[in-house]
Amino acid sequence: MTQDTTKTVASPSGLQRVTVLGTGVLGAQIAFQCAFHGKSVTAYDIDAAALERARDALTRLAQTYAADLPGTTPEATTRVAAAIALSSDLAQAVRDADLVIEAVPEKLELKRSVYAELARLAPEGTIFATNSSTLLPSAFADATGRPEKFLALHFANHIWRQNTAEVMGTPQTDPEVFEQVARFAAEIGMEPIRLHKEQPGYVLNSLLVPLLNAAAALLLKGVASPEDIDKTWRIGTGAKLGPFQIYDIVGLRTAYNIASANPATQGWAEYLKVNYIDKGRLGAGAGGGFYDD
């Protein structure tokens, strides 16, 4: 994944104009990854302050890509970042989109309201894809107004390195749309992982979430510190990161939103809020989390 490109390239998927809704940790990465691989990208967020944060995030990603990817220069990645259009006008952001990738917070009613607006504003042929990590796309497919052109496209954090893209449709998703989106994923440097049926958490999070929950339970019980839990996992398995390091990368607000939606994890949600979120510690690159930035 070393190509620089602010130029358009041949697109067997036919999906060239991409709009990303939400410019948080993953939203910004998705926008940059698409632009890096020659897509025309608009990133949408709710207001000027959010877009200012997005521009800062894209600037940092330009530096990260240049440092992490051999053969990529800072000048090239700076051009990629500058080519991404930013908008807080949803109608303007989606009016020419071939594909809209939604990366808004993990709240079902919020996602349903966003898709109801999209259904009204986006061209009839636009495909909608959700990057939801925990919600099944069938839970809000009806709100899209085009369930046959709607599916999940789930990315892992640090997508330029952890480059899987899980493609998961609903029973209503057109199989041709499914394959079109899988081709698009390959075009932007990802490894498409085709899921044959809906699965909460997809493949990646079905494996990852039990680990994170187990680590949270150990901490809440006072069994060991985050540092020692992480050390145990790294030494015992050879993994590069422990679960609390992963929490910091995912973002503690995301972890809180997921935990607060589940009655079984309310205690963990409250712990995160009181000890970290309320103190401005939101994770890696956002004030620190379990670890300092």
Written as six digits, the tokens of 247 are 């929490």
pLDDT in the model for residue 261: 84
Distance CA 251, CA 242 (A): 14
Rounded to 5 degrees, φ, ψ at 100 are -110, 125
Closest CA relative to residue 18, chosen from 77, 138, 79, 102: 102
- How do strand 164-168 and strand 150-155 relate by DSSP bridges? antiparallel
Which contacts (CB < 8 Å, 24+ apart) does range 75-79 have? 76/4, 76/5, 77/4, 77/36, 79/4, 79/6
pLDDT in the model for residue 10: 54
pLDDT under 70 in the chain at which residues? 1-10
pLDDT in the model for residue 107: 87
pLDDT single digits (tens) 229-268: 999 999 999 999 999 999 998 899 989 988 998 899 999 9
pLDDT in the model for residue 4: 46
Q: 70 in helix, strand or coil?
A: coil
pLDDT in the model for residue 8: 46
pLDDT in the model for residue 1: 40
**Which residue, chain included where needed, has tokens 């998961």?**
168
Question: How many residues are listed for the chain in this entry?
Answer: 293
